[in-house]
Structure 1
Amino acid sequence: MDRIIMIRNRHFLLVAIYSTLLMTSCIETFEATFEDFESAIVVEATITDKLEQQRVFLTRTFEFEDDGPSPETNASVRVEGGGNTFVFQESTPGLYISTQAFAAEPNTDYQLRIDTQNGRSYSSEQMTLPQATQIDDLRVERVTNDLGEEGVAILVDSFDPAGNSVNYRYQYEETFKIIAPFWTPNDLERTPAGIATEICQVSIIPDERSEETCFDTDFSNTIIQTSTKDLAEDRVSNFMVRFISRENYIISHRYSILVRQFVQSNEAFTFYETLNEFSGNESFFSETQPGFLEGNISSDTDTDEKVLGYFDVASVAEQRLFFNYSDLFPGEELPPYVDPCNLSAPPFRTPGNPPRCILAVQTDLGLVSYAGNNDSAGQNEGPYFVAPNVCGDCSEIGKVEVPEFWIEE
């Protein structure tokens, strides 16, 4: 029977398959890395030349039937380089942030060291900073992708006239405005017993809880990279970092994306390229079968222990852009909201004796938002239209605070 081991970090998704019984087939078999499942540490660490508090992610592998990865907590994490030691403290489980801001410097060797709470130690190979290359242009265009889906493409251009950069990896952070389509300045509440004139009555009150406009932020969670090694010059041109369907609600109003471009070593590029191949579903049925992917981190305690992950030192450049849906789709219908937002008019109570409250219970539980009066109520309808709460209160899916970098048109 096959077993599946999954390693999932913020950017890692690695699957190792092995069998307890080998069967003859047209697909080549491989020697299993784990004969019996044993949790392995997963390390994600990229130190950049940007002056900031750097981050290291530590988790553990998990089996397919498990809920997900478990964070590696209470570890001692540090980066050594140039005669300095930069200490990292655990911010949230598995996330370690440097106690001071620092930037990787050229011609300096850096090494990651980790001591876990179970007494094991790990260290990386020494890594140096590649040459930096700026992003020349970041733009958005209305496109139709290869699947015939219409949307927008986030495109990047970059050029290194010296031809030394070659290997590029990208991450993005996208932020978007959310406007609740059925927000009103009014709300509903169960009418107090001393005021109510009928059973299960609900009344209109000023809305002091819901929000009409919010913002949300998401981060890239896939490996996005390209290489110019087979091109005539070290030029990245029209490389699509992100495609967004025009049916995606995140571009309904105003959208912003921050793109980070990392220049990588050949070793780092190969590692992420192989990881991306391993994590693809097609690998289950191809001749290239996934096994253990070796990075540049090893155990100092046990030379036979498997360590997953990579310590990278990369130069980084970043740019941000904003656009409105109307900039690319002028006069066209907005994408569908995150919820269908079907309106209903629940009655105050069910018929019969004793009655059962309907709208009052929905209101008490915060499930619905007031959307208007139902002045022509039909049979089994109440006097108010309501919508799912997410349709009248954007704080269900976003934050009210305007991001510091946010710029309106």
Structure 2
Amino acid sequence: MINYRPKYKSFLVLLVLVVVNSCIEPFQATFVDFESALVIEATITNELKTQQVVLSRSYEFDADGPTAETGARVMVIGGGTTYNFIEGDNGIYFSDQQFAAQQGVEYNLQITTSDGRNYGSDNTQLTAATSLDEVKAERITNDLGEEGMAILVDSFDSTGNSVNYRYEYAETYRVIAPTWSPVSLIGDPENSLSCLVLKVNNETDERICYPTSFSNSIILNTTDNLDEDRVSNFMVRFINRDNYIISHRYSILVRQYVMSNESYNFFETLNELSGSESLFSQTQPGFLQGNVFSADNEEERVLGYFDVASVDEKRLFFNYDDFFPGEDLPPYVDPCNPSSPVLANMGGCVLRPIIESGAGVYFLDTDEPGINEGPYQIVPRVCGDCKVLGPPEVPDFWME
């Protein structure tokens, strides 16, 4: 089972903008009244699994990124049971036992940070359960005139109780390093000061790997304006045909969350505020209030949402040839242009440091080296060792 993180991180800069105390007229990169707010990301689901809560601190526009909130005590309370969470890495807290949210039970989140501040959430109940009926792939041309693959979903709730949906996905794809070689170069093991490199059997670089990447945007859909609670051909992902990730075999796991009206409105507003026009407009929209709060100070601003949602998921596989038979593969992630560095020049060793730093790997011998060329052609590591992109192990779920 893949652990998913709610997708707030790409919106943190925006949230910092809306928590400043004074109006901002022209946009500036420095915020004198910056307020570091606790950011809470938590979606408890009806899956029997180790649930998770993510805690961090908002950050200024020019900062490197959010700071994990460490050393906190985290609990979810529901139905007379307290579920304690244990801290992992990067501010992610995991429940110390597997549990699944139950219908008709009210859940709330309680947090005590390392400095003794207390935070909580409104009571929240599990949403109605709706199956994700189908995940399918179609070759399309989108509204921008780009050709590629659309990942589409269908679902239907005959009771009409679901209505609001949020989607996440994890995509895994087979990558084949285009210039992998069974031969590798190493520096002369007998002399660390020598500029000599030796050809050996390649026992370190991988030709086939299976990277995984996750959705990083808020994907919402509602059937509120339709005659029935039916999701039909809703596109959760578009992949341009020139994207190397579909070059061979591609898989996507789509997860459909059923949301309450309150949760949907929060994420919809967050999504709207993330647009560039809202982000840099002179009229700031004000603080976006979720269902989390400070239990000690009602004036303290807390960002995020505690959601309790029903979820269903389905996985899809396809090959490039299934939709583009006989057509050229998409370009690789790197053009893989070879070069032939000299072994040494007046400044010292040239090729050996490139090899030993991992910047380049062996491709071919140079047939007739020029004046400023060495005996070996090398390419960027990503071209001859796909581990740069992802692990070589075949995932447990993988199907041919």
Normalised to the residue count of structure 1, the TM-score between the two structures is 0.89
Establish whether residue 77 from structure 1 lines up as the match of residue 74 from structure 2: yes
Q: Does 1:374 align with 2:366?
A: yes
Larger radius of gyration: 1
8 Å Cα contact 1:9-1:69 kept in structure 2: no
1:181-215 CA distance string (max 9 Å, x none): 11111011234568x9xx73322111111111111
Which one of 160, 166, 169 corresponds to residue 169 of structure 1?
A: 166
**What SS class does the counterpart of residue 112 from structure 1 fall into?**
strand
- CA shift at 1:38, angstroms? 1.9
> Of 380, 383, 397, which aligns to 2:375?
383
**2:178 counterpart (167, 178, 181):** 181
Is 1:282 the counterpart of 2:277? The answer is yes
SS at match of 2:245: helix
> Given residue 373 of structure 2, which amino acid in structure 1 is its aligned partner?
E
Q: Deviations over 1:294-335 (max 9, x none)?
A: 011111111111111111110001000111112111111111
Asked if residue 207 in structure 1 is aligned to residue 202 in structure 2, the reply is yes
Name the counterpart of 1:248. Answer: 243
CA distance in structure 2 between the partners assigned to 1:88 and 1:274 by the alignment: 29
Q: What's the secondary structure of 2:273's corresponding residue?
A: helix
Deviation at 1:238? 0.7
Structural mapping, 1:227-266, within 5 Å: 227-266=222-261
Whether 1:43 and 2:35 are equivalent positions in the alignment is no
Displacement of 1:285: 5.3
User: 1:314 — aligned with what?
Assistant: 309
Distance across 1 between alignment mates of 2:24 and 2:309: 42
Partner of 1:62: helix, strand, or coil?
Answer: coil
Contact map agreement 2:150 2:237 (CA 8 A) in 1: yes
Which residue pairs with 2:394 in the alignment?
Answer: 402
Percent of residue pairs bearing the same amino acid type: 55
Moved more, 260-269 or 57-66: 57-66
The answer on whether the counterparts of 1:9 and 1:59 sit within 8 Å (CA) in structure 2 is no
Of residues 136, 142, 145, the one that matches 1:145 is 142
**How many Å separate the matches in 2 of 1:192 and 1:226?**
60
Q: Which runs of 5+ in 2 are unaligned?
A: 1-6
C-alpha change, 1:110 and 1:19, in structure 2 (3 Å) is closer
Residue from 317, 322, 328 that aligns with 1:327? 322
Partner of residue 113 from structure 2, selected from 116, 132, 143: 116
Residue 135 in 1 paired to residue 132 in 2? yes
CA offsets, 1:229-287, max 9 Å, x none? 10011111110001111111111111111100011110000000001111111214558
Normalised TM-score (structure 2): 0.91
Alpha-carbon contact 2:24-2:282 (below 8 Å) kept: no
Distance in 1, Cα, partners of 2:382 & 2:213: 18
Q: Which stretches in structure 1 are left out of the alignment for 5+ residues?
A: 1-7, 26-33
| SS at structure 2 position matched to 1:154 | strand
2:356 equivalent in structure 1: 364
Which residue of 2 is the match for residue 60 of structure 1?
57
CA distance in 2 between partners of 1:157 and 1:75 (Å): 40
What residue is the counterpart of 1:341 in the other structure? 336
